[in-house]
């Protein structure tokens, strides 16, 4: 993978970063990273913000632009939106609800089969991360205090979800159903609402 692609991956999964932090992550010099950032900025993939420090020079923090989404799976966004509009036009809103329900049932069955062999909540979360990452969601799991974060750094169906929020409600419901015996699940960050990622708080149920 090219250095510029590694930088884009890091910014996508870890959020805005300084050149110094990126240099440490990539085992490069800060000057070398800055040269790559200049190229990425010229291409429109990144932008920066100079954050005023209490002392000394401002800190330059780099982040991805909307244009950078072209580097990630998009599931043929234009076609997805056209198909949604066609379903609504031909079958009405109820037809779209049936389509989403069918998608949910199919995915849920596949997820349940995979998670059924896992005995612990963390094992189930790791299995879910594996499945979601294979679908293009760039998923990961992190532990914080007495709960977990299920994180999705990319939404490969973003265009479809923006057109019909039921797709997102469907996915939250899936996670809640899959983990209902072990934890409660709530969405705390949402890409569709402008967040950098989708973040689900997974609170274990005390037994």
Domain annotation for the chain: domains and CATH numbers:
3-71 (1.10.10.10), 77-204 (3.30.1380)
Half-sphere exposure of 203 (CA within 13 A, CB side): 6
Neighbours of 75 (CB within 10 A): 14
Look up residue 68 and give its two tokens: 């950078």
Lowest mean per-residue pLDDT among 44-53, 65-74, 145-154, 196-205: 65-74
| Alpha-carbon separation of residue 194 from 23, 36, 53, 143, 186 (angstroms) | 28, 27, 26, 24, 17
How far apart are the C-alpha atoms of 127 and 132, rounded to whole Å?
9
How far apart are the C-alpha atoms of 107 and 171, rounded to whole Å?
9
pLDDT of residue 130: 95
How far apart are the C-alpha atoms of 127 and 121, rounded to whole Å?
10
Could you report the per-residue pLDDT of 99-127, keeping only the tens digit for each?
A: 777 878 888 999 999 999 999 999 999 99
User: Residues 6 or more apart from 36 whose CB is under 8 A from it?
Assistant: 3, 4, 7
Contact yes or no for 202/179 (Cβ under 8 A): yes
pTM: 0.62
Contact yes or no for 158/77 (Cβ under 8 A): yes
Contact yes or no for 155/133 (Cβ under 8 A): no
Look up residue 139 and give its two tokens: 């998923």
Could you report the per-residue pLDDT of 123-141, keeping only the tens digit for each?
A: 999 999 999 998 888 999 9
Half-sphere exposure of 154 (CA within 13 A, CB side): 24
Could you report the per-residue pLDDT of 49-101, keeping only the tens digit for each?
A: 999 877 888 899 999 988 887 787 655 556 566 777 777 777 777 777 787 77
Band of pLDDT at residue 201, cut at 50, 70 and 90: very high
Contact yes or no for 83/164 (Cβ under 8 A): no
Band of pLDDT at residue 41, cut at 50, 70 and 90: very high
How far apart are the C-alpha atoms of 24 and 86, rounded to whole Å?
49
Residue 32 has pLDDT above 80, yes or no: yes
Band of pLDDT at residue 175, cut at 50, 70 and 90: very high
Residue 4 has pLDDT above 90, yes or no: yes
């Amino acid at each position: 993978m090219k250095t510029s692609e590694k930088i884009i991956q890091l910014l996508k999964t870890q959020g805005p970063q300084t050149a110094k932090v990126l240099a440490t992550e990539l085992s490069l010099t800060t000057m070398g990273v800055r040269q790559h950032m200049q190229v990425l900025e010229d291409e429109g993939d990144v932008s920066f913000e100079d954050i005023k420090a209490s002392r000394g020079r401002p800190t330059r923090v780099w982040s991805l632009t909307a244009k950078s989404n072209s580097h990630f799976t998009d599931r043929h966004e234009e076609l997805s939106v056209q198909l949604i509009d066609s379903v609504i036009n031909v079958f009405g809103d109820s037809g779209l609800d049936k389509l989403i329900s069918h998608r949910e049932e199919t995915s849920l069955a596949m997820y349940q089969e995979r998670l059924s062999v896992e005995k612990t909540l963390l094992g189930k979360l790791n299995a879910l991360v594996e499945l979601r990452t294979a679908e293009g969601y760039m998923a990961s799991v992190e532990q914080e205090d007495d709960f977990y974060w299920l994180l999705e750094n990319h939404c490969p169906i973003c265009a479809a979800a923006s057109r019909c929020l039921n797709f997102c409600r469907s996915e939250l419901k899936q996670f809640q159903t899959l983990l209902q015996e072990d934890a409660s699940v709530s969405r705390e960050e949402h890409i569709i609402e402008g967040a950098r990622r989708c973040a689900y708080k997974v609170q274990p149920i005390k037994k």
